[in-house]
Copies of this chain bind each other. A is one copy, B any other.
Amino acid sequence: MLNGERKIARPLRWAMVGGGRLSQVGYKHRCGALRDNTAFQLVAGAFDLDPERGRDFGVNIGVDPSRCYPNYQTMFREEARREDGIEVVSIATPNATHFEIAWAALNAGLDVICEKPLFFTSDEVRKVKALAEEKGLIVGVTYGFSGHPLLMQMRAMIAHGEIGDVRIVDLQYTHGFNATDAVDKVSDAQKWRVDPKIAGPTFVLGDISTHTYYISQLVMPHMKIRELLCDRQSFIPSRAPLEDNAFVLMHYENGAVGRLWASSVNAGCMDSQRIRIVGSKASLVWSDSNPSELRYEVQGQPNQTLYRGMPYLDPSANAIERLGALHTEGLTESWANIYLKFAIAIDAKRRGDEKTLAELVYPDIEAGLEGVRWLENCVKSASNGSIWVPFE
């Protein structure tokens, strides 16, 4: 059980690019990184395209005004001159800028934590991966929902055969906040998400369902896709060619089948992500709208509900437990858990502790690569008439 005591010798000196006052996700990064003040310490930032607003914001969250920078280039340059300069940077900017910032950061000797979807193409990911390896640096991806303890429970139960062989994978990340184009007209955060020059080749597939796809990999790492089919729509025509709704069908190498629904036009839906893994003996069901409960449904037996923080859970789940049973955890704890793992990975990398790195389960650049690759295959299928394409 975590209680905030340090897991690494000292907090890492951390900065953000983006994530300023107008950013919803920026606060999640800070909540995650700074949860216990023992993994990261926020010392600098290029928080905003508007330098004044960025500085004002930085000061308000406790950053020294002299380390609130107008842009990432300046920050990397100036911080490199300081003895106590930043060591790690998180990138919480629109998608189109991820690659150049990550590239610059690695070249500046910084470990990188980056929003999803990582980059526009898997080639870009592979380049960055090679650079990170060359530099001996870590690249983490903020699949921010993936730190919930009960996902480790699912992973352990599937690994231990408690559902039998995986047969059917049912994934969903949907909401209805874009049912009309009202938000598209007023929100900068929404505008860029439906502009392919900034968002990349997808809207909801990349923006939300890569989270769910990563969770599916997290809980069943042995499952590889053989081919998939993606059918996508733009119910609000101004969003075309980017999709506000998509169905994906998947065939796995072991004969299992899967499907995924991504949508921001699922009017009135408030339960966000759902994942159901059906095995030959039993199923596991989890939703991020109630992340403290895991449903375990064994065919022919009473259905079971497992609760976060209980002694009967797998040690891997309770290792990242923070509040204890009956005390509700939310998305903040999930972010805190993945940021803690980023810190542990970075620390291990520096110490050359390959054993820790090998055992640590967290959204690394491989996970980022897999997400971009999945998007590429989805787009390839959709663009060719929603046909089956081999997963490449």
Contact = CB atoms under 8 A, between A and B. Distances in A.
A259 B230 CA distance: 13
Contacts of A324: 24
A161 interface: no
Contacts of A291: 328
Interface string A26-49: 111011001111100010000000
A42 B36 CA distance: 11
Contact of A330 (B34, B247, B280, B330): B330
A233 B259 contact: no
A172 to B, nearest CB: 9
A48 B268 CA distance: 48
Contacts of A13: none
A311 interface: yes
Interface in A290-346: 290-292, 296-307, 310-312, 322-333
Given A257-B247, A296-B302, A388-B386, A325 B270 contact: yes
B62 A261 contact: no
Contacts of A281: 179, 267
A231 B249 contact: yes
A190 interface: no
Chain A interface helix/strand/loop/mixed: loop
A375 interface: no
A279 to B, nearest CB: 6
Contacts of A61: 4-6, 36-38
A288 B290 CA distance: 12
A60 interface: yes
A130 interface: no
Interface in A190-236: 229, 231, 233, 235
A322 B276 CA distance: 29
Nearest to A227: B386
Interface string A155-176: 0000000011001101000011
A377 interface: no
Given A24-B324, A231-B249, A231-B257, A60 B6 contact: yes
A26 B332 CA distance: 18
A259 B303 CA distance: 26
A107 interface: no
Contact of A268 (B245, B303, B312, B331): B303
Interface string A86-110: 0000000000000000000000000
Contacts of A301: 268, 312
Nearest to A179: B299
12 contacts: A38-B60, A38-B61, A231-B249, A233-B257, A235-B255, A266-B283, A267-B279, A267-B297, A268-B299, A304-B304, A330-B330, A332-B333
